[in-house]
Structure 1
Amino acid sequence: MDLAALLDPLGAACREAGEAIRAVRSRGFAVERKGDLSPVTEADRAAEAIILAALARHAPGVPVVAEEEAAAGRIPDLAEAFFLVDPLDGTREFVRGGDDYTVNIGLVVAGTPVLGLVLAPEQGRLWAGVVGLGAWVEEADGKRSVLKVRSLGERLSVVASKSHMNQATRDFLAAELPNAELVSVGSSLKFCLLAEGSADYYPRLSPTSEWDTAAGHAVLLAAGGRVEGPDGLPLGYGKPGFLNAGFAASAGWDGPVLATYMPD
């Protein structure tokens, strides 16, 4: 599989999915609840259909685990390589009328995300990367800039979830990083801020699904960063239930280990 050759057609699919999401928002939509009580809308399903069709064309035969398909119980048998798709990451933010939501496509090989695309539809920005080849961001006008994590400065900038901030994260930050600047951002945009050198650290001390993180994880790795589980080891994929217990994403430096602060 030629990973670099996938970036442009899958980037186009992300942008098409983003336009479908914005069209749903402009005409209004109903909010439903899935089995886990998380919200889902027509926009999630429309975007996922576009991405699944594109993956079938450009990467035939590679299994795809997509959020809404998984919620319906349709999960393929996995191979060494498989895609993880979150067609609308940050649905709560989208439903509230906010802009911090994204479209995500990640490719995992041997447990590691190696290709990722993250689109912010309201910004028109597309972050993309292939591990070993590098990462870039494409603006709405088509201009591209190379991504690279920044060196650690005098003051640490930490990004955290808008919708999922919990007491364990507050305790961790107060104990380990009391002087850090804290910025609240939704969806996988947090990985992108690290990848483009706008932030240094992203701790997550509550569960996420692997499709929430794979694309942003790959972009960050391609830009020189890293993502570790609560035990300090590289965060892997293909886990039971496709669940992450927690993780810490960084611009490549040794941060504190999360394990002590993880909630029971």
Structure 2
Amino acid sequence: MRSRLQNSEIKNLLPAIIDLAKRAGEHILQVYKSEFEVTEKEDRSPLTEADLAAHNCIVAGLESLTPDIPVLSEESAKIPFSERQTWNRYWLVDPLDGTREFIKRNGEFTVNIALIDNHESVLGVIYVPVQGFSYYAARGEGAFKQSEGEAPAKISSKKWEGGTLKVAGSRSHRCDSLDSMLEKIGDYEIISMGSSLKSCLVAEGVVHIYPRFGPTSEWDTAAAQCVVEEAGGRITEMSFKPLRYNTKDSLLNPWFFVAGDQDIDWQQYIPDDDVVPLSRQTSKIKEKRRPV
């Protein structure tokens, strides 16, 4: 196994990655303000020229900044596992997370860049182009939110001390498993949001949890995982083992759970049918796969 990056090495990369995410955001906004066309990828999820413009910007920037670290992006994901499994360290990118929100023009889409080191997310940057602010974190350095022209503010997740549980939910879809979980909780409030912003709401303490009973890919969670963990929360499988990256041929995530309070036994609220092995979840994903 290749030696792990030192925390200081990771921290030193942050300013350049934040700047790169902002530059990608500028490309996205140029398209956002125009009349753009929407096409479909092989999995029937939407694709716009903004996705591709942001992808090209980020990949070029990363290859210039760290030419020895490979890049895996949603828009270049067909790299075989036989090649990927030789990587101990790589960039994992979702150049435009929330393409559906982009198409709806509701502003709830993000640029996501993560550094994966030995299967763990050790750096995460999430930029919100329309609002002009960033969430970012590096291993061991805490999590921050920064608006344009302002000093960064440290963020932390929220403890649940009883009362109404605030739950982040998808803007685009709902499922029976989530409804079953909410029924167990009883007293809850759903805050709907698009893209990786749902996980960011957990990181900054706006909501307590974000359960995801639906299809996602590794680039959807990687940047957010570092931010959430450095804010004091966690992103795990439904078995409550941390999500890990590039461990298998498929790049699909299992169902996952984002929690701000690590002291609560969240397992008691998970519907039994959804605490299943990854192989069965992957099978479910293939059966139910749809644009996200």
Distance in 2 (alpha carbons) for counterparts of 1:193 and 1:13: 23
Q: What TM-score do the two structures reach when normalised by structure 1? A: 0.94
Match for residue 170 of structure 1 among 160, 179, 190: 179
**Higher-Rg member (1/2):** 2
Match for residue 95 of structure 1 among 92, 97, 103: 103
Note the 1:1-264 alignment, pairs <5 A.
1=5, 2-70=9-77, 73-74=78-79, 77-78=84-85, 79-154=87-162, 155-175=164-184, 177-238=185-246, 239-253=248-262, 254-257=264-267, 258=270, 260-262=272-274, 264=284
SS in 1 for 2:220: helix
Distance in 2 (alpha carbons) for counterparts of 1:205 and 1:27: 34
What's the CA shift string for 1:82-129, capped at 9, x where partnerless? 211000000011111111100000111222211100011111110000
What's the CA shift string for 1:102-160, capped at 9, x where partnerless? 00001112222111000111111100001211111110223210111122233221101
CA RMSD, 1 decimal: 1.6
Q: Contact 2:160–2:261 (CA<8 Å) still a contact in 1? A: no
Q: Contact 2:125–2:137 (CA<8 Å) still a contact in 1? A: yes
Q: Contact 1:127–1:135 (CA<8 Å) still a contact in 2? A: yes
Q: Contact 1:111–1:236 (CA<8 Å) still a contact in 2? A: yes
Q: Contact 1:63–1:77 (CA<8 Å) still a contact in 2? A: no
Q: Contact 2:181–2:271 (CA<8 Å) still a contact in 1? A: no
| Structure 1: gaps spanning 5 or more residues | none
Cα gap change, 1:124 to 1:255, in 2 (>3 Å):
farther
Q: Contact 1:205–1:247 (CA<8 Å) still a contact in 2? A: yes
Note the C-alpha offset of 1:164.
Answer: 3.1
What's the CA shift string for 1:204-250, capped at 9, x where partnerless? 01121000110011110111111110212112111332111211011
Q: Contact 2:180–2:271 (CA<8 Å) still a contact in 1? A: no
Aligned letter for 1:196? E
Q: What TM-score do the two structures reach when normalised by structure 2? A: 0.85
Distance in 2 (alpha carbons) for counterparts of 1:125 and 1:223: 17
SS in 2 for 1:242: coil
Aligned letter for 2:187? N
SS in 2 for 1:241: coil
| Structure 2: gaps spanning 5 or more residues | 275-280, 285-292
Aligned letter for 1:240? D
